[in-house]
Amino acid sequence: MTSLLQTRRLCVFILALGLFTMAARGMSDPDVWWHLRTGQLILQNHSVFHTDPYSFTRFAHSWINHEWLSEVLLFVIYRLAGFCGLIVAFAAVIAAALFLVFLRSPGRPYLAAVMTLWGALASAATWGVRPQMFSLLLGSIFLLLLEASEQSPNLVWWTAPLMLLWVNLHAGYPIGLAFIALFLAGEGLEAAIRPESWQKYLPRLKQLAAAFALCLALVGVNPNGIRLYWYPFQTLGSEAMHRFIHEWFSPDFHDPTYLALLLMLLALIAGLAATPRCPRLRSLLLLLVTIPAALRSARHIPIMVLVIVPVLSELAEAGLQQWGATRILNAPLAGTARRTLAVNFVVLITFVVFAVVRVRVVVNRQGETEATHFPAAAVAFLRQEHPPAPLMNHYNWGGYFIWKLYPQYRVFMDGRADVYGDALMTDFGSCYYLKNDWRKSLEAWRIRTVVLPPDAPLITALRSSPKWKQIYADTEAVILTRSQ
């Protein structure tokens, strides 16, 4: 206990606890619900789905379920510990990913802790109970292994079993391949710049190339086979996803949510310009890839944070050394004087109590979170009154309907944009916003019931039509049925 109360160790503990506390949040992601249902059905049927069972618009259509193992884990955690277990488990995953960033950052503990918390603030908007958090953790582990393998070469081979796990958890596996390739390219360029050191670099480069080839070969070891090689790139190329799905939008720097990200990018530019120390070429290549990705889609910000935080910490440390302020980094705050221990004990207890209380509040408010983000009362009405199908639902509600209403109702669409394709997503957008021949789309799909937010333009239009009757309304959703 006394060793934990030393200030430097207490800083590390509070950082880990703080990251966990920040990451604990209610389940508001629209996709978590169909992930839970899919995990349940995989366990019941002892097989992975390859066609869509949930919608009437794409029923039996090909489905590359790249997150099958994540879905099984989600449902197992849910069965064992409910929503509390899911919230705590994914908070731990996110906190672990960022704590590994801290371990890779110069200036530990104080400077690195500040930079890690800054990175957490920059990426927090994309956190949640969702399979892509496994990609965040695995990406962080890959970077740690690749850096540590310079001193302990055999560590690089751990990327292979991790890649095998990754390709079955989430299709974000190209992140790991890209990290290996960028390390290989960066260190290859360093060797080319210093021809006299080529023999020194060669074993390392061969090892990285072999690790890349092995990881690439393992991508096909999954229930979807070789189709997973091109699946992520098909998803990235979807125009409709970039038009309709908020997390695929570019970050809007007018939104305060992205202020920490903006300041981080400005600090990087200032640090590169003001300090004499230049990051290694591999770090620069990683920045040149991850920063444009983050600026293209907000969902990639956490991956950029894995890269940028250690670089910022390195630049800040160099700046402090340049200005003769190294005392800030090496201040002797780890004293064992009785007063210091007493103060640190109070700080420790305060943070632990705060963390426990906050996590309990998040868990206890899950019902409120659910009712705020999803039409819980409207779904209860649907289960009781059984209005006729087919049913048109909002894109963000499809997953919730799958969890609550399947198999009683099949959805119009849900968060599996890859299953529905650009054409159907565009068709839904046309109906929702009354564009093009929206009436023909309703007729073509033989929609009998519509469940949408009260402010949806389609709701306004159908309310004024004699063919449609409102049977339910609250602040979250309106239900209309076709009367003729």
Rounded to the nearest 5°, which phi and psi values hold at 276?
-75, -20
Rounded to the nearest 5°, which phi and psi values hold at 451?
-125, 105
Give the pair of three-digit tokens for residue 139.
């990406």
Q: d(Cα 294, Cα 248) in Å, to the nearest integer? A: 10
Q: Is the dihedral of CA 195, 197, 198, 199 positive or negative?
A: positive
Per-residue pLDDT of the chain (484 residues; tens, 9 = 90+): 667 778 889 999 999 999 999 999 999 999 999 999 999 999 999 999 999 999 999 999 999 999 999 999 999 999 999 999 999 999 999 999 999 999 999 999 999 999 999 999 999 999 999 999 999 999 999 999 999 999 999 999 999 999 999 999 999 999 999 999 999 999 999 999 887 778 888 999 999 999 999 999 999 999 999 999 999 998 887 787 777 788 889 999 999 999 999 999 999 999 999 988 889 999 999 999 999 999 999 999 999 999 999 999 999 999 888 877 666 566 555 555 778 888 889 999 999 999 999 999 999 999 999 999 999 999 999 999 999 999 999 999 999 999 999 999 999 999 999 999 989 999 999 999 999 889 999 999 999 999 999 999 999 999 999 999 999 999 999 999 998 6
Which amino acid appears at position 403 of this protein?
A: W
Asked if residue 381 lies in contact with residue 479, where contact means CB atoms within 8 angstroms, the answer is yes
Tokens 């207490």 belong to residue: 10
Nearest to 111 by CA among 251, 10, 233, 12: 12
Q: Is the dihedral of CA 38, 43, 49, 54 positive or negative?
A: negative
Which amino acid appears at position 378 of this protein?
A: A
Q: What is the DSSP string of 47-68?
A: S---B--SBSSSTT-B---TTH
Asked if residue 19 lies in contact with residue 101, where contact means CB atoms within 8 angstroms, the answer is no
Q: Is the dihedral of CA 306, 307, 308, 313 positive or negative?
A: positive
Residues with Cβ < 8 Å from 163, sequence gap 6 or more?
173, 176, 177, 214, 215, 218, 219
Which DSSP symbol is given to 108? T
- CA-atom Rg of the chain in angstroms: 25
Which amino acid appears at position 39 of this protein?
A: G
Which DSSP symbol is given to 392? E
Nearest to 186 by CA among 347, 307, 331: 307
Which amino acid appears at position 124 of this protein?
A: A
- Number of neighbouring beta carbons within 10 Å of residue 170: 23
The pTM assigned to this predicted structure is 0.95
Asked if residue 43 lies in contact with residue 72, where contact means CB atoms within 8 angstroms, the answer is yes
Give the pair of three-digit tokens for residue 217.
């070969």
Residues with Cβ < 8 Å from 324, sequence gap 6 or more?
none
Give SS3 for 151.
coil
